[in-house]
């Protein structure tokens, strides 16, 4: 591998549907020459808003630390890291605008990279979008951070996927109880699920920010096979569909240096 193709801002340029002035949903933040896997990051938003996210977008800026942690954790392993750019700030009811943009980004990812295994990382509305579109053929896993999980949302699309859900117990914007209920329904529908509670934290992810960043990056790498998943997560993902266990595990403090894996991070296979 000869390194990442990046632009001067640390990204790797834009790609997406609607070229020639149209909306571009997929933005690369790290793009190896021959990626064998990908992580796609989706930020939060609002329940209702047709306005366009501006250049200074707090919800998007919040995810910059996660992108950095993911790039550091997967560096040298042939993993592309991208973000989704939304057309509108809101979900907007049945329009589900964020999910449409996520699908467009995944379609472009697959067209550009081929059918590489892809993990979605989403916060709040972005978590809802990630869970909604996880039936896309490229998606193998989801890391949902304080996700917005209405009781009426479907979960059948998560069958056969690995789903890790993290929620702060002090969250007053999205409901930890709704997340646990959605996790249980998803497991019953055939998903492999593990749920963590990040004690002492709320919706903005600012408290215990290092734990949020490090856990997200390490769990994503684990889902891609680059490192070992924590034992409790591996056990949870193997539970039978009828089980409601391991959906409310306390997230341990994440050390700066992660415990060594049984195998080192290695480049993912790519087509010759």
Sheet holding 79-84, edge to edge: 14-15, 26-30, 79-84, 37-42, 118-123, 139-145, 162-168, 192-198, 249-250
Query: What pLDDT does 257 receive?
Result: 86
Ranges assigned E (strand) in the chain: 14-15, 26-30, 37-42, 79-84, 118-123, 139-145, 162-168, 192-198, 249-250
Query: What pLDDT does 16 receive?
Result: 44
Query: What pLDDT does 268 receive?
Result: 55
CA separation, residue 105 to residues 14, 127, 138, 174 (Å): 11, 15, 11, 25
Both tokens of residue 71? 């790039």
**Ramachandran category for residue 216: left, alpha or beta (phi over 0 → left; psi -120 to 50 → alpha):** alpha
- For residue 132, the Cα-to-chain-centroid distance in whole angstroms is 12
pLDDT tens for each residue of the chain, 272 residues long: 334 443 323 344 444 444 335 888 999 999 999 999 999 999 999 999 999 998 788 999 999 999 999 999 999 999 999 999 999 999 999 999 999 999 999 999 999 999 999 999 999 999 999 999 999 999 999 999 999 999 999 999 999 999 999 999 999 999 999 999 999 999 999 999 999 999 999 999 999 999 999 999 999 999 999 999 999 999 999 999 999 999 999 999 999 987 766 554 445 554 43
Q: What is the pTM assigned to this prediction?
A: 0.90
Cα gap 147→131, rounded to integer Å? 9
Query: What pLDDT does 260 receive?
Result: 65
Please answer whether residues 119 and 143 qualify as being in contact, where contact means their C-beta atoms are separated by less than 8 angstroms. yes
Which of 184, 107, 167, 97 shows the shortest CA–CA distance to 132?
97
Three-state secondary-structure class, residue 89? coil
CA separation, residue 22 to residues 16, 17, 56, 114, 166 (Å): 9, 7, 20, 23, 34
């Amino acid at each position: 591998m000869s390194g990442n193709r990046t632009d001067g801002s640390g990204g790797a340029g834009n790609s997406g549907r609607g070229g020639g002035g149209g909306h571009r949903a997929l933005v690369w933040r790290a793009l190896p020459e021959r990626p064998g896997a990908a992580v796609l990051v989706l930020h939060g938003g609002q329940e209702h808003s047709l306005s366009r996210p501006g250049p200074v977008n707090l919800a998007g800026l919040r995810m910059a630390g996660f992108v950095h942690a993911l790039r550091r954790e997967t560096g040298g392993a042939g993993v592309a890291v991208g973000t989704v750019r939304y057309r509108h700030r809101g979900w907007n009811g049945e329009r589900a605008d964020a999910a449409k943009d996520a699908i467009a980004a995944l379609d472009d990812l697959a067209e550009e990279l081929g059918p590489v295994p892809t993990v979605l990382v989403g916060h709040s509305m972005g978590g809802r979008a990630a869970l909604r579109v996880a039936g896309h053929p490229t998606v193998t896993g989801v890391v949902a951070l304080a996700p917005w999980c209405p009781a009426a949302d479907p979960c059948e699309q998560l069958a056969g996927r690995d789903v890790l859900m993290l929620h702060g117990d002090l969250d007053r914007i999205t409901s930890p109880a709704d997340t646990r209920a959605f996790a249980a329904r998803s497991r019953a529908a055939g998903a492999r699920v593990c749920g963590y509670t990040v004690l002492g934290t709320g919706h903005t992810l600012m408290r215990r920010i290092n734990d949020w960043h490090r856990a997200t990056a390490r769990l994503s790498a684990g889902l891609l096979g680059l490192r070992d998943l924590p034992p409790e997560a591996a056990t949870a993902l193997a539970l039978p569909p009828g089980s409601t266990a391991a959906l409310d595990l306390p997230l341990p403090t994440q050390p700066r240096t992660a415990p060594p894996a049984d195998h080192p991070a290695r480049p993912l296979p790519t087509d010759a």
